Structure 1
């Protein structure tokens, strides 16, 4: 034990020294993670193995002492260990873990932590999923690796540790990956992930006795001032590419005026760059007299330029003249003139010691003073559309007056939300606004102001839901004469709004004659928003802010927050209500946890009251006149309503349902200057089969509710509406036996027994026969003869999950006799094995007759 403590202390001391005095020749940077004090600290969260009171027995001082900020005791199963608050359930086996940034911060006050994997006996695997906020990137630092495959010179075999992006990570040689038999990394191997959700995969594919690793993780701000937030900036990421970017002089100059220079960076900088990448950074200028100054402020590649290098070309393709090639750690500043430059970054396979992290370069544009040479422009034929030029070629276009049009490209890679106004551009008869989003984007546009003065539809606004100008793609056409002013008589809505079906929308303003003055000009002004449906749900048509998340194709976990911050809401002056609906698939449930609420109007007329059946907004005023956040189940069942000063206590509030769950964000009076209240919530689609479509065709069986791990927060509510269909194709009499050891109100949960209805509405629930409440403890129900198909329904709205057992058995009389009056849309047919043989059926029939005769011949029956 002493030697173990000494080695860990030496490691922590080295780590602290390395962060304070980093090596001068290395450019790897990472978040400094160190907690606690004292030379005897055991690990990141445990100060001493003994000497502090046990949480379950304060008189016992033989338990571990935890780091005061962020450390929590592991419990009775590990009395001499601590772990990070929020990860206690993984204290003894940290494997297959989902770590959500907001939840970790709420529980431990830290945005970073430690992963010490369990000791695996291969073949085996563990995964660790990280869910950052929208302003964070995932950072992983690996210090120790034991028996995790080996490197064969080009790739890892037998095992690996890999950081992969996306909701469904898979093994890939193009992702950051390391391996080794007994490795201590000093400095650590540092990985960054920039595409939101990321997963660390630890997989052993060969037989081993002990495979393990030690790593730190951090949710690092993308605006980190220590250089950890380096990403390409000021450019536009090109669609359908892994890491290609476009930088234009006018965009970079505008960014520089706002205090942000254009930056080129290799993927995952300042961490290790991924292998087998070919990234192209296209640099375009308005004319050939623009000087491009590229300053490589950091460069760390292998010394030979065979597999990992940077090439700079005078032109737009790799077949253009090669200007120079860089590798090693050559930090250079290069200056060129021309219309197009191409910076290409190539990487080969990853090789130990996994410490090359690529490059960072800044861009500056300046124009030399020349009077004799004319500027170069790209001439566009009048019949050529912007869509034909922009999308296949991704070229920068400067139109000449010969085109008789102004062409405005707004890219979702550069900005996600903003205003547009054609009056800010030089007048042309035709003005095109092309909104080009990312692959998973849809475009949402709202018109605030427009004026078309000419008669008889000589001036028009056309909205095209496509990347090609086609009459069949026109979704709206506004004809002159017409005038719309912001906040006019229809000021309370943001209409007209338009939603694309793909990631491109084109708006064309056609004007018949030049204006006599600025005040007479025909124009169009509004706002736009690029909505990523893969991350933020499917935007609903004819709605400003309603979205749907379907469990079958949405990320399994993520974060949601309040709408109303995008420029699309600029014109709203009145009530705002937005719905975010989550629909699990048949084998799923959905959990939503409201983590925080900020700046909600503290209405004295509204009080939040939480009990076993959910949270209610109690108010003397109509709820629509009060700011509130609501969680609704199926059939608009109120599970939780939060209003007034509730945000100061009682959070988090969470709900788990096996049907749809809708978050309603309602602001009584919204304005762009004041906006509404803020909230943050996490969601997770859980895989389970507690509810769903269960159809039983056997004549006897049992249904038992599976127990679930209870949540940590008090205000957590279960809402269920589950059905089980018992069906038979032969005549029978069904007997049900229901038991429960709980003693809960019938409103908390109950079981009802119904006839089967062919109508799918209301879950096929027909006529009600019986209701079982847990207080009944035990009941048996004998259903009517020939009621061959019944539906058993469980309804729950409670802090506790119901516990019960349902048994059923059938008395079947005649074989192979089908009930003619069965429901027309009966469930699955019973198999032939469910029919009894004729001899058996005859015997049962005789026994049934004898039992009836004996009943009537009893002592009391003689007098009937």
Structure 2
């Protein structure tokens, strides 16, 4: 039986039936049916041709017909067909079923088999051009009835129903074929036939799909065809990047900057893709950046619409994140699989370098997108390090003196640090503070000290459990804080110089400083002040930024203002000699150390900081002599003396080339002046921390010292000076108010007594016997312990005189005789030197180098160095 849709053409040949389908021979229906079937024509006229080659009394057919309006055929035209006259597409002129659909939206385009919802005709080839306004065109056929060659006969035993099948080899008669593009030369998505509810929708990669519908010349009067809706896959967002191929992307920070965005987005594949598909995302930042990826939404589903079902193992589809610029199995951050992975929403995955590589792989393919549904955000963070990054840490840095000897550093520029909690090995631990450590190390052969200047601290206020007035232990406080200390293996306690700092708690480390109050940079950079200044006593120093994990992310993530800023400098080079000089009765310091000149190149700039320590209850007398600066300018050379009992912002004494003589009038420094100031604390919130308060705790007594600082900026090695000092005992007064005098008895002559000799110029000062008449002036003033008359009296008759001994006539002492012998030797040496110079001037120029060497050897003897 043949059923043909026809129209009548009265164009000039009378009444002639013209078949609007494409072929001269229409297809035919054959076989038997027991249940009524419906044919719903596409035109207003139908021709039925019944033919049999073997007619018997068992051969028969019957039918009835009626005409229906479009509004009555709801399944074909939908609601309100008058509003959507092209809902079924625009019929291609001269064809029976070729239709064009433009800018489809949901419920505005119905893709149907001819004669739908009735049985479709035979011997058809229908073409459908589908188009949407946006990308990812979607055929909404999931759970729709689909019946294309689903049954060859009504008897389900003889002709079992064919399930919906994909593949040309399984669909030899009737089928639809879908192409991902505008025509049949586009990639083929699939060939489908069978009967049932379609299990999935189909999503294209662009705005166009091309569909072919083919029926065999003969077939049963059973199959009712298909009905598809056309729309766009929702939720798609444009990715800012460069696309290579079908699904390989380069997503860089430059692309974000060009679009004025701070973060980018990419989503899981939402369109069809064939088996063994691999899609990649290369996230590329600048050289000083790191990459972060997190998933606001992530779902792991089973594979519901595979193109092939041959895969039966785990990880039919997977998403792998690499901490590298290309796939590297040794640098996998995380792999998600469709069979066993848990989703990871709102978890940060961070690279260690400026690249992260993400690869999606599917062994099964899909008609409607990935089983791993994710919505990924990515951004880039400045990970600039001012020192050397410490491996396996998030923000630790190390500064060494054999690299830049001075510089700037600050809290992490990468604010993602403040969001990350726990440790590298266990980043999910939320109770641990966020800690960044900065370690400064110098080789003693290069520098002996580290000078640290904290320029600013900018912590935010939080609602801590313990009020600030009750939080007395900064080191164990929950507050955001900055810690500075020297390693405990250093036996020498640190020298720290601080401005007056309010509300800073005392430290619990012997040689450390704990800061939690803000310091304004504009205040600390005023003239003559360098903020909080900390000078190490040894060759290593630690700085630690410690933040409360409960508030760090909220307060400091994406907060560009530095939490602290600081500068460091490695000082006290080999020319300076030892940095710490232990207490002695009398000592001297000579600069420069010429024995170091042969091992190091003379520096262009130099800073030396000496710590001269003093015995308990001793006064100190400093004597500067043989001072020679490069020039009169203080920029070329400057000597400063700092006392621990005074403000560290200003030196007790400062001298340059133009006022070097002022150093000779330096007064005696009393034991109170060379002692650290006591801690002053009150029950209120104020706690003044000076450079001494950091060291006085756990029963320690306050330290006693003087700091001498030399700064040279122009050939500092050419400056020369010698500092001699003596410790003196300051005699207390008697009960009656008279000045107590020094004891001078024979028992004191062994040198053990600390006050055996009173200074001639000031009877309140005294020396031990071992320091009298030993060739070093230890008493200040014109009358001192080395004058000939004093020494003659001291050594008359081979033993010292007592305090009551009168000064009368006496025989020349052995000291006077020794003095005369030394004077004669100096005179002889001077005559010989004069003769040698005269001889050199008369010699030929070729011998001048030898004389110059002789002169240089003599000049080097003027200042010598001593190991302390």
Question: TM-score with structure 1 length normalisation?
Answer: 0.30
- Rg larger in structure: 2
Question: TM-score with structure 2 length normalisation?
Answer: 0.29
